């Protein structure tokens, strides 16, 4: 990759990071405004923001293994491999990490304020979210490994790993909506 391409990639990365910071700042400002105003439907706003964060986090968790599948087939050091590295880093740092943190913060607030940490369904849900977080950590380690051109897992491995967030999401949604116990 030539120096101008790298510079434009870095500049584009900076612009993406700035846009992400602005978006997070706007999100935080809206959240603070709702918290300060404390409308009668305050909890519904928190639930809505929690769902928005969950959707963003899940989008990343479902997309990242697809990138890994394609990255596994790319020759280390090739332009294609370098592009995947950049995409993986940006997805992790700009979307997935903030979305996960917001999901956890708002989810724990709801568990404490609305449900007072009561209910077997809530404990099971938190357990599944812990497993989802472990998948996130596994993907984060894979991003670092790909960035270092370390040993690669096969595309088949990443296809199988792609199913884990989906299965955990199904369990979480059923627990939240049905509250079976």
User: Which tokens belong to 25?
Assistant: 């700042």
Q: Assess if residue 51 is contained within a domain.
A: yes
What total of structural domains would you count in the chain? 1
Range of the domain at 155: 41-178
Q: Assess if residue 28 is contained within a domain.
A: no
Query: Annotated binding site: which residue ranges?
Result: 50, 125
Q: Assess if residue 156 is contained within a domain.
A: yes
Q: Assess if residue 117 is contained within a domain.
A: yes
Q: What is the C-alpha to C-alpha distance for residues 36 and 33, in angstroms, rounded to an integer?
A: 5
Q: What is the C-alpha to C-alpha distance for residues 108 and 129, in angstroms, rounded to an integer?
A: 11
Secondary structure in 3-state letters for 131-179 = HHHHHHHHHHHHHHHHHCCCCCCCHHHHHHHCHHHHHHHHHHHHHHHHC
User: Which tokens belong to 152?
Assistant: 């690669």
Query: Annotated binding site for heme: which residue ranges?
Result: 50, 125
Q: Assess if residue 124 is contained within a domain.
A: yes
DSSP 24-51: HHHHHHHHHHHHHH--TTHHHHHHHHHH
pLDDT of residue 38: 86
- Evaluate the CA torsion angle 137, 138, 143, 147 in order and state its sign: positive
Q: Assess if residue 105 is contained within a domain.
A: yes
Q: Assess if residue 135 is contained within a domain.
A: yes
How crowded is residue 47: how many other Cβ atoms within 10 Å of its Cβ?
15
Q: Assess if residue 66 is contained within a domain.
A: yes
Contact 72, 153 (CB under 8 A): yes
**Rounded average pLDDT per 10-residue block, the chain, 181 residues:** 51 78 86 87 94 97 97 95 96 95 96 96 98 98 97 95 97 97 94
User: Which tokens belong to 139?
Assistant: 């993907």
How crowded is residue 2: how many other Cβ atoms within 10 Å of its Cβ?
8
């Amino acid at each position: 990759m030539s120096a101008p391409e790298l510079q434009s990639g870095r500049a584009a990365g900076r612009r993406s990071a700035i846009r992400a910071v602005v978006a997070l700042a706007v999100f935080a400002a809206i959240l603070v405004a709702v918290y300060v105003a404390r409308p009668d439907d305050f909890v519904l706003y928190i639930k809505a923001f929690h769902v928005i964060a969950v959707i963003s986090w899940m989008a990343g968790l479902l997309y990242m293994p697809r990138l890994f599948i394609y990255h596994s087939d790319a020759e280390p050091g090739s332009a294609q491999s370098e592009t995947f590295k950049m995409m993986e880093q940006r997805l992790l740092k700009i979307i997935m990490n903030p979305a996960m943190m917001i999901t956890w913060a708002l989810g724990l607030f709801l568990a404490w304020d609305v449900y007072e940490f009561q209910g077997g369904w809530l404990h099971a849900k938190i357990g599944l979210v812990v497993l989802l977080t472990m998948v996130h950590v596994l993907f984060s380690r894979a991003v670092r490994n790909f960035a270092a051109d370390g040993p690669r897992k096969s595309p088949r491995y990443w296809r199988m790993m792609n199913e884990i967030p989906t299965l955990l999401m199904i369990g979480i949604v059923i627990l939240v909506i049905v509250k079976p116990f």
